[in-house]
Amino acid sequence: MLSLLEKWAVDGRLALGVFLLSLFGVAMIYSAGAVNTPDPVVSDAWQRQVLWFAIALLAFTLVARIPLGWWEWVAVPAYVVTLVLLAATLVVGTGAGTAASTKSWIDLGAFRFQPSELAKLATVLALARLLSTRDEPPAGLRDLLAPGLLVGVPLGFVMLQPDLGSGMVFVGVLYGMLYWAGTPPLMLLLVASPVAGLILSFDTRIWSVYIVVLFLVLYLYRYRLFLYESAAVILVNVAAGAVAAPLWRSFRPYQQNRLLVFLDSTVDPKGAGYNLLQSKVAIGSGGISGKGYLLGTQKRFDFLPEQHTDFIFSVIGEELGFVGVGVALLLLGYVLYRLVRMAEKASDPFAGLVLFGIFGLWFVHIFVNTGMTVGIVPIVGIPLPFMSYGGTFLVVSWLAAGIAVRLAHER
């Protein structure tokens, strides 16, 4: 069987992993629609997912045969096209499901698609093209300006929709690819330091200690940074601390509650905390072997929100228990492992960067989606690769897999 997969998919092991995940996803989406009071949109979702699965397989078959040189050439045009689509989304975009108040989708009548999913993959290609043209790894903060700007533009469009989940993916892709390009880890921490300054500013004493520690780190690291770069890091962190309180007051009550629920899910049990509490109950009640396929009570009585999309992992936990969750995570982990191994063996810098960029894209999706169902990550609305319902995301994920297998095995 593996030899047949190799002929079709170049890398049979990666293809087998994503194929099994997709089948698993269809089965769980079918289960998510099996409720006491069926909603046609949810109960028929598995049929639409099968159709998108077939389209994804066709797209994978075609993409896996496109040579590396073409992907290098198309990287910049694809990036520009997705920026135009993201800008158009802000004007004519619509929402969907729990994200009805956002502008994340473009409705073409016969179907809808989400430009941000295309933009993630296009950004991986464009960033790989930029970083692969450099003779030396990024050595200072100024070397990170161009990559940061390249990712920052689509990130800005996505945050204006607003779509915090997709925004987190863009940041994860940037950090992952910069790391693979040879950027020192401490440099990456310095770039992320304003976020820490913003969070720690809730207590003036803790924030003051943090600034002193940051100053000492910059002093010890001075031989790697210009003076203006160190000064910029300090000033940005001070600014982050200064705007923290006004920024918090600018949030709407429901936005504040979402962040507070992350710290304590009982803060708003009938509002922002409802999703998290129901997800925890569903996963916890599954035990070792689960309640049985199609037999989840939280799901069947429709207590679990968005159970065929963002909270599909909760359905797995309730019905298949620790065993089912373990199988799902092992399959996801195997796919990520294959990507890293393929990136290590890639003979072309562009190919290696694209492969690790796809790894970063999927890793953030997996970590945030599974994390938010158990409360270790704020609920932001982000699908689980190959398992959650969603045509655009499924097709783009298979496109990414097709690009990966082609670039990894082209010498």
Give yes or no for a contact between 168 and 382, defined as CB atoms under 8 angstroms apart: yes
Model confidence pLDDT, tens digit, residues 24-57: 999 999 999 888 777 777 888 999 999 999 999 9
> Which band of pLDDT confidence, cut at 50, 70 and 90, is reported for residue 4?
low
pLDDT in tens, 93-103: 776 655 556 67
Rounded to whole angstroms, the Cα distance separating 215 from 235 reads 11
DSSP one-letter code for 336:
H
Q: What is the pLDDT of residue 95?
A: 67
Is 67 in contact with 76 (CB distance < 8 Å)? no
Q: What is the DSSP string of 85-154?
A: HHHHHHHH-B--GGGTTS--BEE-SS-EE-HHHHHHHHHHHHHHHHHHT-SS---SGGGGHHHHHHHHHH
Say if residues 297 and 271 touch (Cβ distance below 8 Å). no
* Per-domain boundaries in the chain: 2-183+251-408
- Is the distance from CB of 140 to CB of 175 less than 8 angstroms? no
At 254, list the tokens.
Answer: 């429901």
Q: What is the predicted pLDDT for the residue at 9?
A: 65
Q: What is the pTM of this model?
A: 0.91
